[in-house]
Structure 1
Amino acid sequence: MRLIGFAGWSGAGKTTLLTRLIPRLVARGLTVSTIKHAHHRFDLDQPGKDSYEHRAAGAAQVLVSSAQRWALMTELRGAPEPDLRFLLSRLAPVDLVLVEGFKRDPLPKIEVHRAANAKPWLHPEDPAVVAVAADVPPPPVAGRALPWVGLDDVEGVAELVLRFAAAAETLSWPS
């Protein structure tokens, strides 16, 4: 499965970049799926909805379906958080999976960096970073020349993704 991650600290602009990037990739004929890691407790459901009430009553899984979409919610109830490999196995086949977050996983990734956050760069310590999208030039790392595009250069990021996707072996889960 071809995949590339987008990793960076909270507030760097990962979600904004992806929501601008996805339509460009789709317009070029790619089918795209995403996986987003949520750092906080999140809930797609709301009290009062039937599916919420089913989960609150103890259902391990609730599948909600309509004419527009379906979603499967699984309650972990103390089980460990699933890893990225498991989550990838749950997706239908597509041309490209964009992964937001999971910055500590060894998948090929584009570092998203915003200088105003005053957070450390990831690429000096993470050999899985294959490119950088940032609002300032990244510091050099001895022995590694990483492609860099501006954080707002969505077309440049799309070109990077397409270039790496063309070399599919660079966009797969490490063995």
Structure 2
Amino acid sequence: MRVYGVTGWKNAGKTGLMERLVTEIVGRGHTVSTVKHAHHSFDVDHPGRDSYRHRAAGATEVLLSSRNRFALMHEMRDEAEWPLAALLEKLAPVDLVLIEGYKRDRHPKIEAFRAGTGNALIAPEDATIRAVASDVPLDLDRPVFDLNDTRAIADFILGEVGL
């Protein structure tokens, strides 16, 4: 499976870039799935709902299904966080999986960078970052794209993965 990451510090523009990339790449006729790493607890259902009650009762997995979508919730009761590779195995085959976050994993990535956040670039210390999408010009040893030039960023990523 072809994978490519979008990484960067908080408020660097990762999610907006991911959203634009999915739209652009799907618009070119490719299938895309995404993986988003959350550093905090999250919930996809709500107290009192049937699926929530199933999980609260102790179910390890609850698959919630409708005519429009399904969601598989797996409770990590006594488990460590699953590695990215194990999560990717859960996905149906697609042309490209875009991964938001997972800075420390070794897949190729593009770094989203906004100078106004005050955070340092990750790229100079991380060879898995193959390019940077920035809101300011940068002098780096790898390609630098305008953060809002979605077409050029998509061209780069698709070239990198052979699509």
Q: Superposition pairs for residues 27-66 of structure 1, below 5 Å? A: 27-66=27-66
- Picking from 150, 154, 162, the partner of 2:150 is 154
Deviations 1:115-166 (A, max 9, x none): 11111111111010111101112343xxxx3111111111111111121122
1:164 corresponds to = 160
Deviations 1:71-92 (A, max 9, x none): 1100001310001010111111
Give, as a single letter, the amino acid of the residue that structure 1 aligns with 2:145. Answer: V
2:68 corresponds to = 68
Displacement of 1:44 in angstroms is 0.8
What secondary structure, in the 3-state scheme, does the structure 1 residue paired with 2:125 have? coil
Question: Residues of 1 paired with 2:77 and 2:29: CA distance?
Answer: 40
Alignment pair present for 1:20 and 2:20: yes
Give, as a single letter, the amino acid of the residue that structure 2 aligns with 1:59. Answer: A
Question: Residues of 1 paired with 2:35 and 2:58: CA distance?
Answer: 26
Alignment pair present for 1:3 and 2:3: yes
Task: Report how many residues are paired.
Answer: 163
Give, as a single letter, the amino acid of the residue that structure 1 aligns with 2:46. Answer: Q
5+ residue gaps, structure 1, are 169-175
1:121 corresponds to = 121
1:173 corresponds to = none
Deviations 1:44-69 (A, max 9, x none): 11111100011011111100111111
Between the two proteins, what is the percent identity of the paired residues? Answer: 52
Question: Residues of 2 paired with 1:83 and 1:22: CA distance?
Answer: 23
Question: Residues of 2 paired with 1:139 and 1:80: CA distance?
Answer: 40
5+ residue gaps, structure 2, are none
Question: Residues of 2 paired with 1:128 and 1:85: CA distance?
Answer: 16
